[in-house]
Amino acid sequence: MRLLLISLDAAFQADAQTLLSMPNLGALADRGVFCQKVQTIYPSLTYPVHASILTGCYPDKHGIPHNEHYAPELPAAKRPWYWDAGEIRVSTLHQAAARAGREVASILWPVSGHNKSIRFNFPEVHALPGENQVAKVLRFGSFWWLLQSELKYGRQRVSNEQPHLDRFAALLTEKLIRRQYNPKSPGSVDPGPRKKRQHMPDVITVHLVDLDATRHRTGTHSEEARAALFRLDANVGAMLKALEAAGVMEETIVAVVSDHGQADVSREFALDAWLKAAGVPARAQTLGFGAYIHCERGDYHAVLDVLEKNRKELHIETVYTRQQLRAMHAPQGIVLAVEPEEGVEYVDDFGQEQHRGNHGFGPDHPAAQCLLWLSGPPFLKGARLHSAHVVDIAPTLAYALRLELPEAQGRVLYEAFEQTAKE
């Protein structure tokens, strides 16, 4: 049994009917199980959520608290992100598959750099000022495969921006699915006489970012965002067509997931700058529609008092206390956090350019409900799940693939399986 896991960054419950009306994602729902109420984690940021999708754990256990490392002394453009897979503290589906002797590929998946479990690795990394993007990708990923892919297919990529990068990610996935078996290639596993012609990796994970980038730039429900939804469906369709052409569709689990939605931004507020100017012994780390409040243990109550007394000026809708954050499985070390009034985006400093759409909100926000498609031999056909959680995805896929993820905190979605598979 193989797995193709596709992430649609920034798709959420409000997109469900549109996506189900499209030719590829609509057909995928008819062939398997669909759920439009998949609770995401806190915080609703891409990197922590994708770590949860891959581990079945919450941030307090998997260890990825944010997209960026907390480095308030650095300008935003120079802050390193969580690019290295070694920063995840628990086992991932990538590692579980490799331990079981399966071949793994990953395209633009967050927190996947320097991952020895991934044979074909095109990690999502960004060049900081003074760095070269190509050199950084080669350093964090599979050097020779990336170089070979660039020489073969690089001319087909119009640019490294969206939507062209997603199209290139889909193209590389298509090529991996249709990859010819080469007995002389290091690490190749003989697929047997009946499958000599094609040798798709056993596990492929793909992260599509076009919709997220478009919503940040143009707003949540803009015409441009609607066009991005159609491009997502087309890219998923290209990968499904490759499975059909390779003759492996009937032995492949296709899982399509999302991480968070977005909401429109009406104004920004520089919370960290306000705290510094007011002499408050704390720093704010923006989440977009929220912020972590970093403070020393002895300053906790004093800082909490400042936040409560200045709710209106700071545009605070919700203050998350230490106890609430622990109950939400928020990252370790985070003892205070805030969520702003609707439409207010927290930024680092006054005058900073704002987004048209953003995320980073808490678990009760409407855009915290994500999407899930599960299709393939073990799953029911045409079924709808009432609800699920992002941390349920990894244990469910591990169960279907007979992989071990003992640290996962989520549950197996047994109700999504055919009775014979459950037995």
Whether residue 396 sits in one domain with residue 274: no
DSSP-derived letter for residue 195 is: G
Which of 1-10, 192-201, 275-284 has the least mean pLDDT? Answer: 192-201
**Alpha carbons 67 and 34: distance in angstroms, whole number:** 28
Whether residue 202 sits in one domain with residue 176: yes
pLDDT (0 to 100) of residue 190: 52
* pLDDT bucket at 208, cuts 50 / 70 / 90: very high
Whether residue 75 sits in one domain with residue 151: yes
Whether residue 184 sits in one domain with residue 97: yes
Among the candidates 354, 380, 410, a domain finishes at: 354
Residues 395 and 408: beta-carbon distance below 8 Å: yes
Whether residue 155 sits in one domain with residue 240: yes
Percent of the chain with pLDDT over 90: 91
110 CB burial (10 A radius; 0-12, 13-18, 19+):
buried
Is the pLDDT at 422 greater than 60? The verdict is no
The overall average pLDDT reported for the chain is 94
Which residues constitute the domain of residue 126? 2-263+365-422
pLDDT (0 to 100) of residue 294: 97
Query: Has residue 41 been placed in a domain?
Result: yes
Among the candidates 331, 354, 377, a domain finishes at: 354
Query: Has residue 22 been placed in a domain?
Result: yes
Query: Has residue 274 been placed in a domain?
Result: yes
pLDDT (0 to 100) of residue 354: 80
pLDDT (0 to 100) of residue 185: 44
Whether residue 137 sits in one domain with residue 83: yes
Is the pLDDT at 187 greater than 80? The verdict is no
The helix (run of H) or strand (run of E) holding residue 120 is: strand 120-122
Is the pLDDT at 395 greater than 80? The verdict is yes
Is the pLDDT at 392 greater than 90? The verdict is yes
Residue 338 is part of a domain; what is its CATH number? 3.30.1360
pLDDT (0 to 100) of residue 423: 55
Predicted model pTM = 0.94
Q: What pLDDT, in 10s, does the model give residues 310-353?
A: 999 999 999 999 999 999 999 999 999 999 999 999 998 766 67
Whether residue 387 sits in one domain with residue 342: no
Whether residue 284 sits in one domain with residue 168: no
**Alpha carbons 242 and 248: distance in angstroms, whole number:** 9
What's the structural domain count of the chain?
2
Which of 162-171, 237-246, 346-355, 395-404 has the least mean pLDDT? Answer: 346-355
């997220």: which residue's tokens?
212
Query: Has residue 172 been placed in a domain?
Result: yes
Residue 44 is part of a domain; what is its CATH number? 3.40.720.10
Over residues 106-115, the mean pLDDT reads 98
Residues 55 and 48: beta-carbon distance below 8 Å: no
pLDDT (0 to 100) of residue 419: 75
Whether residue 254 sits in one domain with residue 121: yes
* pLDDT bucket at 250, cuts 50 / 70 / 90: very high
Is the pLDDT at 186 greater than 50? The verdict is no
Whether residue 187 sits in one domain with residue 49: yes
Query: Has residue 360 been placed in a domain?
Result: no
In sequence order, which residues have a C-beta less than 8 Å from that of residue 338 and are 6 or more positions away? 271, 284, 290, 291, 293, 307, 314, 316, 318, 319, 320, 346
pLDDT (0 to 100) of residue 180: 61
Whether residue 249 sits in one domain with residue 272: no
Among the candidates 319, 354, 389, a domain finishes at: 354
* pLDDT bucket at 179, cuts 50 / 70 / 90: confident
Query: Has residue 252 been placed in a domain?
Result: yes
Whether residue 24 sits in one domain with residue 158: yes
